Amino acid sequence: MLQRSSLPYFKIILLLPILAVFALPGFAQPHWKEIVSVEDICIAYPQEIQEMLEQFDLDYPGLEKVKLARAEGNLPQACQALLDYYHNCDNAAHLRKEKPQLTTTTVAEADTILTNVFTIQNVKGQVPVGEDGHRDWYHKGPNNDREWAWLSNRHTQIHQVLTAYFETGNPKYAQYIDFFLRDFIIKSMPYPAVKSRTSVWRGLEVSFRSKVWSEVFYSLINTGYLSPATQLLMLSSLPDHAHYNRNFHGGNNWLTMEVSALATVATNFPEYRQAEEWLDYSVQAMVESMKDQVYPDGVQTELTSHYHNVSLRNFELFKEICDRAEKTLPAYYNETLENMYRYIAHAMRPDGNRVLNNDGDRGSDRAIILKGANTFGKPEWEYIATNGKSGTLPTDGPSYFHPWAGQLISRSGYDSLAHWSFFDVGPWGSGHQHNDKLHLSVAAYGHDFLVDAGRFAYTGAVAEKFRPYARSSAAHNVMLIGGQGQDAGPTHAQTQLNSTCYKITNDFDYATGSFGEFLSTEGEIKHQRAVMYVRSEFWVVVDHIKTDRPRKIEALWHWHPTCQVIQESSTVKTNHKQGNLAIVPLSKQPFSVKFIKGQEQPELQGWYSPEYNLYEPNLTTSYHGEIEGDATLVWLLLPSSDKIVVPETTILQETEQYVNLRIESSQNIWELTIPYSNSGLASVQEIQ
């Protein structure tokens, strides 16, 4: 039986004549599936509908008939007047659509959803129906994953069905949405009005629904397929959604999603009594949050490309909301949006995909960058996104360092076959962190070579198996000390890194960082890593380890699953017809080399996840050995458009401050000075 919250005495008195009428013969309460008309919903849930009307400012222009009917105690008439208002008002013009021409055309993906089969984060499952006819809104999918239940309650699936309706004009899609929402809202009552992590009432799900429902309400309201009962149920539930996002929202990217949803309800439904307060609060909270969660270099503090984009999308959505409502935002807000877009453009891989780091997914950023280029008038971003096919060649770059995020993006150029690398010397991050400081990813000639392992999943069977591995140092291109990975680091940067930590010139890029907190490790240990990229030629990685005792060490290099990797002595390289990379150890440190792929025992190793819930084996090359004390390891990462030819290399000098080496190919000779920690000493001299 549906639970109902208690009402104050004066409200009960007001409801008595209404309830008395509905108690007469002929007013039997219908089954929830039969509730379609205004009268049906008023008979079934008079208390909830009365509470809905109390959420409205009935002095709002256009609601005069609603106010009069309510004062007369005629609940159905008040509701009908309210719906008439929404049918004819000018609200949300950007969401209203013309009714499409009637057809029987179908869309296969939408038809699957009509069978209650939803695909959530690459996992397909069917939501069961209970004895009461309601779907099980707490169903966790085939992997018993609470993330599956959460995300299915965001109602993105009905947005897909909504799109199918307007593409085809087939009424079955609109009718499914009507029944879906009536089912959900009735089953989810009463609103608990407390902070929750349940499948239905968690902040992110509440925020997504608010946005989807707004579009559903206004785009279908004049089609005849969204029943009056469903319209009233939506109007009764949206204030609850707003209340949740106003009072129980989270921080970081959660705040951007939840508070933008609050503003969505406030501006699409300004007739609610609290709409103005909701919008004012939204502006204050969003501006303050932007200051807290975006560094001056434009990078979101979670330092995860995936969630950077989530925050940007919601910051931008909020600006669009405020623009439509003629609510002015400070200049800082627009400047930060521009900086966030700039970061995405500067970090893009040559193939258009974003950085895969922390809890992120690999995916294309081209469309996002092109949107930003158009919005902010930046033809140089268009040039990057199109690999130089359109736009204007940037006057800076091609490499970029972000001093607050501590990220060096190195490139040989902007073409699709360019060299590209990502080197992380920044803080741990404010959320979604992996223990991966000093990780290096490398791509060239259209291939991903050295990769981050990805995020796998947060909950469910995949997460139970892979989540600890995904977050560990073992899943990244870093050093393990004594078999142990890194512990957590500082979550935020308090100041930007100064120029001693990085240098970008026409000929080379350089950056350096260090880390000294390793799990279950006694004594003093510090790992310093410096990366030098000689433009259009190669990378040199220098690992300087300071220790007070002998240590077992292990250097990990994770290859993309498509790489065909072979070993020649201590050199490990790909063996492709076109586009290759070699890892060449240059120091005298003795190593044993081990190939690991898809290992499950004694611990996980050699696994890769490009997207949530997707994973496959990949090859990990492990260089492991022992050091007696302080040691310096030098690695040459050599890309080639065809077969690898390893050059002659000589370490000329190794001091307490730097390594000096000579690299001699058939065409060129370079002398490099690579300091452990002082960019002022970094130099590249091309002798020939």
For residues 155-194, one letter each, b for 16 or more C-beta atoms within 10 angstroms of the residue's C-beta and e for the rest, the string is bebbbbbbebbbebbbbbbbbbbbebbbbbbbbbbebeee
Question: What 3-state class would DSSP assign to 319?
Answer: helix
pLDDT tens per residue, range 361-409 = 999 999 999 999 999 999 999 999 999 999 999 999 999 999 999 999 9
End-to-end CA gap in the chain:
85
**The pLDDT of residue 23:** 42
Are residues 350 and 449 both part of a single domain?
no
Measured CA to CA, the distance from residue 362 to residue 347 in angstroms comes to: 13
Give φ, ψ of 98 to 5 degrees: -75, 145
Instruction: Give a yes or no: residue 251 inside a domain.
Output: no
Are residues 391 and 533 both part of a single domain?
no
Query: Do 82 and 65 form a contact (C-beta atoms < 8 A)?
Result: no
Q: Give the pLDDT band of residue 29 (cuts 50, 70, 90).
A: low
Give φ, ψ of 380 to 5 degrees: -70, -30
Query: Do 485 and 462 form a contact (C-beta atoms < 8 A)?
Result: no
* Helices and strands, number each (H, E), in the chain: 18, 25
Nearest to 402 by CA among 470, 446, 347: 347
Measured CA to CA, the distance from residue 380 to residue 666 in angstroms comes to: 36
Q: Would the pLDDT of 4 be above 60?
A: no
DSSP character string of 77-124: HHHHHHHHHHHHS-TTTTT--PPPPP-----HHHHHHHTTEEEETTEE
Q: Give the pLDDT band of residue 522 (cuts 50, 70, 90).
A: very high
Q: Would the pLDDT of 17 be above 80?
A: no
Strands 508-515 and 525-534, bridge-based pairing:
antiparallel
CB neighbours of residue 568 within 10 Å? 12
Q: Give the pLDDT band of residue 288 (cuts 50, 70, 90).
A: very high
Q: Give the pLDDT band of residue 462 (cuts 50, 70, 90).
A: very high
Helical segments of 32-74, H only: 38-44, 46-54, 64-71
Are residues 487 and 579 both part of a single domain?
yes
Instruction: Give a yes or no: residue 146 inside a domain.
Output: no
Average pLDDT on 460-485 reads 97
Instruction: Give a yes or no: residue 487 inside a domain.
Output: yes
**The pLDDT of residue 151:** 97
Average pLDDT on 469-485 reads 98
Round the CA-based radius of gyration of the chain to a whole number and report it. Answer: 30
pLDDT tens per residue, range 411-426 = 999 999 999 999 999 9
Measured CA to CA, the distance from residue 2 to residue 186 in angstroms comes to: 8
Instruction: Give a yes or no: residue 331 inside a domain.
Output: yes
Tell me which residue has tokens 């608010």. 210
Residue 409: enclosing H or E segment and its boundaries? Answer: strand 407-411
Which of 396, 426, 455 finishes a domain? 396
Q: Would the pLDDT of 3 be above 50?
A: no
Q: Which residue range is the domain that position 489 belongs to?
A: 400-644
Measured CA to CA, the distance from residue 52 to residue 240 in angstroms comes to: 10
Instruction: Give a yes or no: residue 405 inside a domain.
Output: yes
- Output the pTM of the full model: 0.90
Q: Measured in whole angstroms, how far is the alpha carbon of residue 470 from the centre of its chain?
A: 16
The full 3-state SS of 502-515, as one line of letters, equals EEECCCEEEEEEEE
Are residues 469 and 606 both part of a single domain?
yes
Measured CA to CA, the distance from residue 115 to residue 433 in angstroms comes to: 37
Q: Give the pLDDT band of residue 666 (cuts 50, 70, 90).
A: confident
Q: Give the pLDDT band of residue 12 (cuts 50, 70, 90).
A: very low
**The pLDDT of residue 8:** 41
β-bridge mates for residue 511, sequence order = 502, 531
Average pLDDT on 505-525 reads 96
Measured CA to CA, the distance from residue 185 to residue 577 in angstroms comes to: 58
Query: Do 269 and 91 form a contact (C-beta atoms < 8 A)?
Result: yes
Are residues 354 and 422 both part of a single domain?
no
β-bridge mates for residue 273, sequence order = none
Are residues 413 and 383 both part of a single domain?
no
Specify the higher pLDDT residue, 265 or 589.
265
Are residues 427 and 573 both part of a single domain?
yes
Are residues 473 and 606 both part of a single domain?
yes
CB-based contacts of 440, cutoff 8 Å, min separation 6: 421, 422, 423, 424, 450, 477, 529, 531, 539, 541
Nearest to 275 by CA among 203, 325, 218, 315: 325
CB-based contacts of 583, cutoff 8 Å, min separation 6: 557, 571, 572, 573, 621, 635, 636, 637
Instruction: Give a yes or no: residue 657 inside a domain.
Output: no
Residues in the chain, total: 688
Specify the higher pLDDT residue, 28 or 264.
264
Instruction: Give a yes or no: residue 208 inside a domain.
Output: no
Cα dihedral 203, 204, 205, 208 in deg (nearest 10): 120
Residue 539: give its domain's CATH number: 2.70.98.70
Which of 396, 412, 433 finishes a domain? 396
Measured CA to CA, the distance from residue 359 to residue 611 in angstroms comes to: 10
Tell me the helix, strand and coil percentages in the chain, rounded to 5.
35, 25, 40
Are residues 406 and 387 both part of a single domain?
no
Q: Would the pLDDT of 465 be above 70?
A: yes
Are residues 425 and 478 both part of a single domain?
yes
Sheet holding 669-675, edge to edge: 648-654, 658-664, 669-675, 683-686
Q: Would the pLDDT of 20 be above 50?
A: no
Are residues 390 and 426 both part of a single domain?
no
- Both tokens assigned to 415: 């073409």
Measured CA to CA, the distance from residue 271 to residue 269 in angstroms comes to: 5
Instruction: Give a yes or no: residue 209 inside a domain.
Output: no
β-bridge mates for residue 619, sequence order = 597
Which of 396, 419, 442 finishes a domain? 396
**The pLDDT of residue 10:** 38
**The pLDDT of residue 11:** 40
Cα dihedral 623, 624, 629, 634 in deg (nearest 10): 0
State the DSSP code for 138: T
Nearest to 54 by CA among 307, 318, 235: 235
- Residue 605, amino acid: Q
Q: Would the pLDDT of 15 be above 50?
A: no
Are residues 392 and 428 both part of a single domain?
no
**The pLDDT of residue 283:** 97
Number of domains observed in the structure of the chain? 3
Q: What is the average pLDDT score of the chain? A: 94
Nearest to 636 by CA among 653, 658, 661: 661
CB neighbours of residue 88 within 10 Å? 11
Residues 187-191: contacts with CB under 8 Å, at least 24 apart: 187/134, 187/135, 187/137, 188/137, 188/237, 189/2, 189/3, 189/45, 189/48, 190/2, 190/3, 190/4, 190/5, 191/237, 191/240, 191/243, 191/244
